[in-house]
Amino acid sequence: MQELEARFGELVGEVAEPPRVARYAVNEAMIRNWVEAHDDLNPVYVDPEAARATGRDDVICPPAMVTTWVMQGYRRWRQVQALRAEGVQESHAYSRLLALLDEHGFSSVVATAQEQEYVRELTPGTRVTCHFTIEDISPVKRTGLGDGCFITLRKRYVDQADRLLVDERFVILRFDPTTKDAPKEPAA
C-alpha cells in the first residue's frame, strides 16, 4: 500500500487528461431533458420571454448542468470501460491513476463532494471546454464502503473565448468493495 501511495506523488498536480471540448453547444433540447427529469418548473430554463423578464438575454442552463456538456457520451463511455477491462492505459495522468487503482482493487467509484463557483451563466450556443487537473489524492483510508482513496479533481470550465464559466472541485472515492467490513490490515 505504501508503494501505491508513493506513486500518487507523481500524479498530483498533473493535468488529468486533455481538455474536454463539448461535443455540441449548450442547447435547449438537452436543457429541457434535464429540467423535465428534475421536474424543475423554473421558466428561465425553457422560456426566453420569462428569462428576459429576469434580466437575462436568453434562456439559461441550470447551474448544476455544466458538467453535462463535457460528458463524453455513451459510445466513449463504453470504450473507456472496455479499455479498463482489458487493462489498457491511455497516456494521460488520469488514465494512469485509474489503471494503478484498478490493479490494487480500487475499481468502484462514488462521488463524495462537489464545489462549483458559477462565474457566468451558460446560454444556448456556448461551447464549453473543461480543463481537468488532479489536485489531490488522499492516502488509502478505511471507509464504510471499503478501503479506498479520495481523489480531488479541479475542473475549470471555459467558453469558446476562453472566459471562465465555472470553477469546480470534485471529490470522488475510488474503493475496493471486497474490503467492506474487512478486518483492519496490520500496520506493515
Partner 1 sequence: MSTPTVVRPVVGETLPELALPLDRTTIVATAIASQDFEDVHHDPGKANERGTPDIFMSINSTNGFLDRYVTDLFGPATRIRKVALRLGVPNFPGDTMTFSGEVAEVTDVAVTLKVVGRNVRGAHVTATVTIDHPSGGIQ
Q: Residues in the site for partner 1, rule: CB under 8 A?
A: 30, 33-34, 36-44, 50-51, 53-55, 62-65, 67-68, 71-74, 77-78, 107-118, 121, 145-146, 175, 177, 180
**Quick one: 10 or 21, whose CB is closer to partner 1?**
21
Please give the distance of CA 164 from its chain centroid, rounded to a whole number. Answer: 17
Locate 130 and state its grid cell. 473543461
Give Cβ neighbours of residue 170 (< 8 Å, ≥ 6 apart). Answer: 111, 113, 114, 152, 153, 154, 155
Q: Residue 53 class from Cβ within 10 Å (0-12 exposed, 13-18 middle, 19+ buried)?
A: exposed
Q: Both ends of the chain: CA-CA distance in Å? A: 9
**Quick one: 14 or 105, whose CB is closer to partner 1?**
105
**Quick one: 8 or 175, whose CB is closer to partner 1?**
175
Q: Residue 9 Cβ, how far from partner 1 at the closest point, in Å? A: 26
**Quick one: 89 or 108, whose CB is closer to partner 1?**
108
Q: Residue 177 Cβ, how far from partner 1 at the closest point, in Å? A: 3
- Is the sign of the CA dihedral 41, 30, 60, 17 positive or negative? positive
Q: Residue 119 Cβ, how far from partner 1 at the closest point, in Å? A: 9
Q: Residue 89 Cβ, how far from partner 1 at the closest point, in Å? A: 20
